[in-house]
Amino acid sequence: MATNKPLNSNDDDLVDGVENVAKPIDQPTSMSYCLQRIRLGEVCREISDSIPFTKIGSKEPQYERMRNIDTKLREVAESLPPFFSLDFNTNELPETDQRRAPGIVIQRYIINSLLHAQRCRMHLPYLSRAATDPAYSYSRDACMEAARMVIRTERQLAREDLPFVLARLKFTGVLHCVCIAIIVLLMDLCRHKSPQSEGDRDSRVEIYNAFSILEEARGQSPFAEKILEQFYAILHRHNIPLSGGEGRPVTRPGNVSEQASKQTKDKSLPSRDSQMSIDGMPDPSLPSFDDLWQVFDTNVDPASLVDWNTLFFELDTPFVSL
């Protein structure tokens, strides 16, 4: 089956019997996010068709083919419309800038999280091999870059003043992306640790600061609490000290999750009717509750999303089933 892709247009701009002209891709519309999800979906379909990732350790896929697909993922990331880019601070933008619209902020977060988490997953089978085989060093670099982008995306969203920020950690998909990123950072540190090196100390601080995201989610998700305990067990098993080291601060909020949980009770996820765009009109690009639910479904069993047993086995750590 083949069909044309949607035009980059707002629904209100479409008129029956009149030729519809798409707006430039760098101009946000109600279809902007959908078009980027389609692009990402096409690459993900190519991954599933080309590389047998049903089980890590199965028949060796063609590594060059995987690298070619990775190039396509990077092209998607690099060609995102400017309003979906992470290369700016929303709070520094003028009040009238479209990039500050609540819908754009949320969609920017979702598309970047999904894109870089997918890149992490694609390279995970090669990450541990990179420690002993330089042929897979490309995957280590790609995995680390993508994992850091997932954490960066999460941190950037946390600074936004939106109801979704308080409720985001209830979505299993959000935690899934964060956990994939943390696993990448943990695997790399455990395989390449050198306690006296500056790089090792930076990696530990990086990991602990990523842990603070799950610390914040403790009060909202049983999965977050269970997986966080496993992560700390890995550090203990590998004799990695639970401190920033060398006077470097580590973010370990004590009651952040309680505060977030309390605040969430007083606020709800944004809806198309309740949120307004920067010009006072309803924001056509603002995801509804149902839209978010489809992307970050809380009814999905986290244990079914990733082969956690294999990943933790890679870390030489027994994994207690969730």
Each residue's pLDDT expressed in tens, for the chain with a length of 322 residues: 578 888 998 888 888 888 878 899 999 999 999 999 999 999 988 888 776 544 444 445 578 888 999 999 999 999 999 999 988 877 788 888 888 888 899 999 999 999 999 999 889 888 888 888 888 999 999 999 999 999 999 999 988 888 888 888 888 888 889 999 998 998 888 776 665 566 667 778 888 888 899 998 888 888 888 888 888 888 888 787 755 444 333 444 444 444 444 444 444 444 433 343 434 333 444 444 344 434 444 444 444 444 555 555 545 433 333 2
All residues at 6 or more sequence positions from 316 whose CB lies less than 8 Å from its CB, including other chains: 190, 237, 238
Give residue 69's domain range.
Answer: 32-271+287-314
Residue 150 lies in a domain: yes
Structure tokens at 161: 């003043």
Residue 26 lies in a domain: no
Domain count, the chain: 1
CA distance 322 to 318: 12
Question: What amino acid is encoded at 292 in this protein?
Answer: L
For residue 274, count other CB atoms closer than 10 A to its CB.
12
Residue 320 lies in a domain: no
CA distance 308 to 235: 17
Structure tokens at 64: 């060059």
Residue 279 lies in a domain: no
Q: Containing H/E element for 18?
A: none
Phi, psi of 87 (to 5 degrees): -85, 45
Residue 243 lies in a domain: yes
Question: Smallest Cα–Cα separation from 147: which of 118, 106, 108, 111?
Answer: 118
Cβ–Cβ under 8 Å, residues 102 and 162: yes
Phi, psi of 282 (to 5 degrees): -55, 135
Angle of the 172-192 helix axis to the 222-237 helix axis, nearest 10: 0
Residue 19 lies in a domain: no
Residue 1 lies in a domain: no
**Residue 207 to residues 50, 106, 122, 200, 221: CA-CA distances in angstroms?**
32, 25, 21, 11, 20
